Amino acid sequence: MDNKFPGKDISDEDLKTKFPLAAKKNKNHFSSFKVAGVEFGKQLVTFVGPNMVESRDLILDVAKNVQKIGADFLRGGAFKPLTFPYRNSKYNETREDGIKWLLEAKNKYNIPIITEVMEEKFIPLVAEVADIIQIGSRNMQNYPFITACAKTNKPIMLKRHYGSSLRDWLGAAEYILIEGNQKVILCERGVSAPHTHRSTSRFLLDLQVIPAAKEVTHLPVIVDPSHATFWRPWVKPMALASVAAGADGVMLEVHPDPENAAVDPLQPIDYSEFDKLLPQMKNIYNNLK
Ligand code: PEP
Ligand code: MN
């Protein structure tokens, strides 16, 4: 690997000493593991659903529709890192109930699920139901917590903290790999928008981190353009751009009534938008193969 470019924050030495497990061993090294029958690296993998598991009716409706359209995984948070502590009947986590409804949706519509866990005491509950455990951006460097998640030996999606470098992100992945858990998926979800970009976005999708990460690690890299853009009209172009940049998968917020979503209503797309976007993303992915 050529790591002579001085702008990179990872050196050849780092690859050997700091990320021996996450580092690529040769140019074509890629971890093509399977989760619930879905093989990373062989197809564009999609993680689709609402931001929050708002209710039983919502998650069953989303599961049914996105499975029919062709989503690989159903996403949705029952345990949600909400930015503000003030709750009301709508803006509120559904917690254990939400996990129960996710399981019902998974069984009824035969779609595997990915969901976040935020507290160590809920790891056994989430690990029992989820096909992939999501570690949210805010917990990316909570090392005792990610170690505890890794010990379940469940596949883990590690979302990049919006203030972290690629080096920090891979360091966190190494904490999972060192536990013998090899099913780690990296998810770029936007970085804190620098001052110059504040007028366009809360976060800035770091498209460049896709080729940068894939240059040094064998782990699959996926992108969440919903959180990165925070704005519905930009989700589609950024999803397509992510695939063009080499992403192995895309996480998308999809809601039947986006404007009335309980959390982040500016970012979800609806069923018909997802239905149009999916073949377009697959087209780009398959053309790159
Ligand atoms: C999410 O995917 O629901 C989420 C909270 O994402 P992030 O941790 O990237 O903000
Ligand atoms: Mn969110």
The confidence score (pLDDT) of residue 7 equals: 66
Query: CA-CA distances (angstroms) from residue 81 to 76, 86, 135, 136, 222?
Result: 12, 12, 11, 8, 20
- Measured between alpha carbons, how far is 34 from 201 in angstroms, rounded to an integer? 35
Phi, psi dihedrals of residue 101, rounded to the nearest 5°: -70, -35
Atom of ligand 1 nearest to the CA of 134: 2
Q: Which residue has the tokens 């890629």?
A: 30
Ligand 1 pocket, CB under 6 A: 51, 77, 81, 116, 136-138, 159, 189, 227
The confidence score (pLDDT) of residue 2 equals: 52
78 C-alpha to ligand 2 centroid (Å): 12
Burial label for 125, CB within 10 Å (0-12, 13-18, 19+), is: middle
Closest C-alpha to 172, from 124, 223, 217: 217
Cα dihedral sign, 9-11-17-21: positive
Q: Which residue has the tokens 């455990």?
A: 133
Considering every ligand atom shown, identify the ligand nearest to the alpha carbon of residue 162 and give its number: 1
DSSP codes joined into one string, 27-54: TT-----EETTEEBTTB-EEEEE-SB--
89 C-alpha to ligand 2 centroid (Å): 18
Q: How many residues does the chain have?
A: 289
138 C-alpha to ligand 1 centroid (Å): 8
- Measured between alpha carbons, how far is 205 from 126 in angstroms, rounded to an integer? 28
The confidence score (pLDDT) of residue 150 equals: 98
Distance of CA 208 to the CA centre of its chain: 17
The confidence score (pLDDT) of residue 26 equals: 94
Residues of the chain below pLDDT 50: 1
How many other CB atoms sit within 10 Å of the CB of residue 64?
15
- Measured between alpha carbons, how far is 224 from 210 in angstroms, rounded to an integer? 12
The confidence score (pLDDT) of residue 19 equals: 94
Record the tokens describing residue 40, joined without a space. 């990373």
Phi, psi dihedrals of residue 70, rounded to the nearest 5°: 125, 15
Closest C-alpha to 114, from 69, 147, 66: 66
The confidence score (pLDDT) of residue 241 equals: 98
Cα dihedral sign, 125-126-130-131: negative
The residues, ordered by sequence, that sit 6+ positions from 148 with a Cβ below 8 Å of its Cβ are: 120, 123
The confidence score (pLDDT) of residue 3 equals: 55
Atom of ligand 1 nearest to the CA of 189: 9
